[in-house]
Amino acid sequence: MKRPVLRAALMVLTGLAPGTSAAAQTTLTGTVKAQSEHTDEALIAVPWRGGAGQVEGRVASSLGVSKVIVSAPMSASGQFSLKLPAALDSSLLPPATRSPLPGTLFAPSPGATCTGAIQASDPTARVVQLALSVKAVNTGGEIFSVISSGQYDEAQAASLGRTQTGLIYYAERPVQMRGTQSCQWRDQDYLNKMTIVVAGQLTQGWNRMTLDVTAITKGAEVDTTFRLTSGALPTNDWTLLPDAQTEER
């Protein structure tokens, strides 16, 4: 799957939207990796050679990206251990009326026909996403917990791509998101089908989730499925994507 499409989908699924809330502290332990230049079919992570530095955390919401809220040293081999704050200041959370949890996601295209809905048990709960970046001796940028694979079946004239991306949310109070939404539309000569399946339980505080995206292209048909589930990250390796930039508000 092309990265702009993936990032656009992340904007839809992570654009969820008083006082400081108490929650248990979470520690993220992982290893920063670099991206291989050989990425025709999939993202390939290779050992880190960017030197020692630090990993920085910000929060992202409908209001934009915050200043750095937490940081930790990173070794020359890319290893780090980042302790997230047990609670976030209310200034980092968007107003509930600004970006409520969606009952139905926006149609991916003006001409799309959609059925189904994504439901939230508490639509007014405020949720933000953690954005991680690395600042090292030789390089820097956003890092992602991501696994990617791809293949092409010549016999079927079809290509299959899969990308699993780890997401970390902070919720001011527990909220459950469930449902399925399916959309279909034509873009020039292509028939596009998109299915979004959400099964997420957010507890108060920090939550690990995985967005699993599969895309099958066969002839003039593109079938893409997004599955958002809670409980774990796909990997503890965090890959630097040079073309991803963090813009603070």
pLDDT at 116 (0 to 100):
93
pLDDT at 106 (0 to 100):
67
**CA-based nearest residue to 211, from 4, 29, 11, 49:** 11
pLDDT at 174 (0 to 100):
94
**With a cut of 70, which residues of the chain have pLDDT below it?**
1-25, 38-42, 97-106, 242-249
pLDDT at 10 (0 to 100):
46
pLDDT at 19 (0 to 100):
32
- pLDDT tens per residue, range 198-229: 998 999 999 999 999 999 999 899 999 999 99
Q: Give residue limits of the domains in the chain.
A: 3-17+29-84+101-240
In the chain, pLDDT over 70 holds for what percent of residues? 81
pLDDT at 68 (0 to 100):
97
Rounded CA gap, 101 and 12, in Å?
Answer: 11
Q: In whole angstroms, how far apart are CA 81 and each of 31, 76, 203?
A: 9, 14, 22
pLDDT at 37 (0 to 100):
76
